[in-house]
Amino acid sequence: MSGKKRHGGKGDNGGKKSKQLVRAELSEELGEKNGREELRRGWESGETVQCGTVVLDSVPFQHCVIRSFIKNEEFLDGLKDELLALNFHDKSNDLYKFQQSEDLKSRKEPHISALRKVLFEDFRQWLSEVTKVELETTVDISCAQYNYTDTLLCHDDELEGRRFAFILYLVPEWTEADGGALDLYSTDEKSQPGPIVKSLIPSWNTLVFFEVSPISFHQVSEVLSEEKCRLSVSGWFHGSSLERPPRSLDPVPVRTPHLPCDHEILYEWINPDYLSVDYQAQIQEEFEDTSEILLKDFLKEDKFNAVSAALKTESIEWELLGPPNRRCYKRAKSELPDVLKSCMELLKSEPFFLLLSNLTGLKLHFLAANNEDSDEEEGSSELNARAPAQGENGDHTAQEGSERVPVCYGELRHWEHGHYTMIHDYDPERQEFALDLLWFCGCEDWEAEYGGFTSYIAKEEDEELLTVNPENNCLALVYRDKETMRFVKHINHKSVQRDAILPNHKGFWDFAFVYNE
């Protein structure tokens, strides 16, 4: 239903007359010359300045909060009605989950058109005067709805041409307990985000803008209200971008060859079904067709129970990994309880490397069959691309004479509410072929709607190639090429209800390993 039809009252002569009657005006305080000059000086000096309903601050980066942004309240009611009548599309990937409208630049509804005019003309001029930045006439603008468990994780908004970001809130009465705050992050000496130092709670008819820069890291925290909708109009004003320092790189993980070990370790730990030569051949055939497989009940029941008990009852030291624009989860550090240490050693052992070779057809052990003929295919964006020819994998792989030595690295991870990983351009794993291994524990009653699943996607694509859901005592094997990326989806507030009924733990655990031929 169009805005013209909805808001045309009795006696209107069609949509044109209705459109002419709709006009948006900025708050009178934005028109005061003295206030503009004081704000300009504050912006230039980086000082905190308040002029009536306008508050400008430079901590942790330059931003401004303008309350009562639009003068006439009746206009906002009509604008909200028009926005809610738009078609919204679900948006979900590693970075966000929310609903977004189509581009508002071409919408003809009278209130949306009037808002666009006041933003693109009056406010753009005011913003340029205060910041002394010449702004282009191009402005990006759209509408977003954040409902229960929706979020936008830590990012800096930087994209060529973006100079200022803005958000106009059209929310009901909102409190900190509702979530959905605009969180601003501090940054370290490498321009990487650290702790959240400021949270701006949405409020009706409030506009926030900030300068897009190498340190403008922010997020929309998860919406925790099941009844309220966080409705906003947002976008970017364009101008010359600020200079960016070199990006901080993740260190390349330390990879090691297998640990020498007697083959009896497999019979001690692993379900005998998976040690059958015939069954291994069957699994390998399936894996070579799909490049992924899920092996249920992988460990013997007594070993699985022992690992589960240790994770739930033993004292384990965990470290929270960041930075938040790339990851947020806990990793076990220092000495592990004996049974967990033994499990890690199993996954690093020489017999296990050979078992993986037999299950996948990859050459992870010198006794494995040589599959170089099939390995020479070029990488693609599909999961079923095969491994590279010898020597293509980069300098990080251990060498022994002219032969490449298979290597691995792994970690024990704890996942709970608020945890995630994200895809980023400078991930060292993005440039390699690898076999991923995930083995899960503590996943009883875990639902896919909580998040925490691992998604594989093709480079530059949002469509999922594969999703691996956490499942107790399941071993997931996934072979990925240079065009395949992965992330762990943000674990949302719905998981808290499940955690409340479990006596011994929150979230779940996984042993995560990467093997290279």
Classified as helix, coil or strand, 438 is strand
Token pair in block for residue 165:
């970001």
Measured in Å, how far apart are the chain's first and last C-alpha atoms? 59
User: Which residues, in sequence order, are bridge partners of residue 349?
Assistant: 259
User: Which residues, in sequence order, are bridge partners of residue 143?
Assistant: 233
Angle between the N-to-C axes of helices 124-131 and 33-45, in degrees from 0 to 180, rounded to the nearest 10: 50
Q: Where do we find the tokens 């009465």?
A: 173
Burial classification of residue 158, based on how many CB atoms lie within 10 Å of its CB (0-12 exposed, 13-18 middle, 19 or more buried) = middle
The per-residue pLDDT for 269 is 98
pTM more than 0.85: yes
Token pair in block for residue 294:
């899920």
Q: Judge whether 27 and 73 are in contact, CB under 8 Å.
A: no
The per-residue pLDDT for 314 is 87
What is d(CA 336, CA 186) in angstroms, rounded to the nearest whole number? 33
What is d(CA 43, CA 55) in angstroms, rounded to the nearest whole number? 11
User: Which residues, in sequence order, are bridge partners of residue 477?
Assistant: 293, 437
Q: Judge whether 183 and 314 are in contact, CB under 8 Å.
A: no
DSSP-assigned letters across all residues of 132-152: T----S-EEEEEEEE-TT-EE
From first to last of the 517 residues of the chain, give the pLDDT tens digit.
333 333 334 344 444 444 457 999 999 999 899 999 999 999 999 999 999 999 999 999 999 999 999 999 899 999 999 999 999 999 999 999 999 999 999 999 999 999 999 999 999 999 999 999 999 998 899 999 999 999 999 999 998 899 999 999 999 999 999 999 999 999 999 999 999 999 999 999 999 999 999 999 999 999 999 999 999 999 999 999 888 888 888 888 899 999 999 999 999 999 999 999 999 999 999 999 999 999 999 999 999 999 999 999 888 999 999 999 999 999 999 889 999 999 999 999 999 999 999 999 999 998 876 655 444 443 433 444 333 333 333 344 444 444 689 999 999 999 999 999 999 877 777 778 999 999 999 999 999 999 999 999 998 777 789 999 999 999 999 999 988 999 999 999 999 999 999 888 899 999 999 999 9
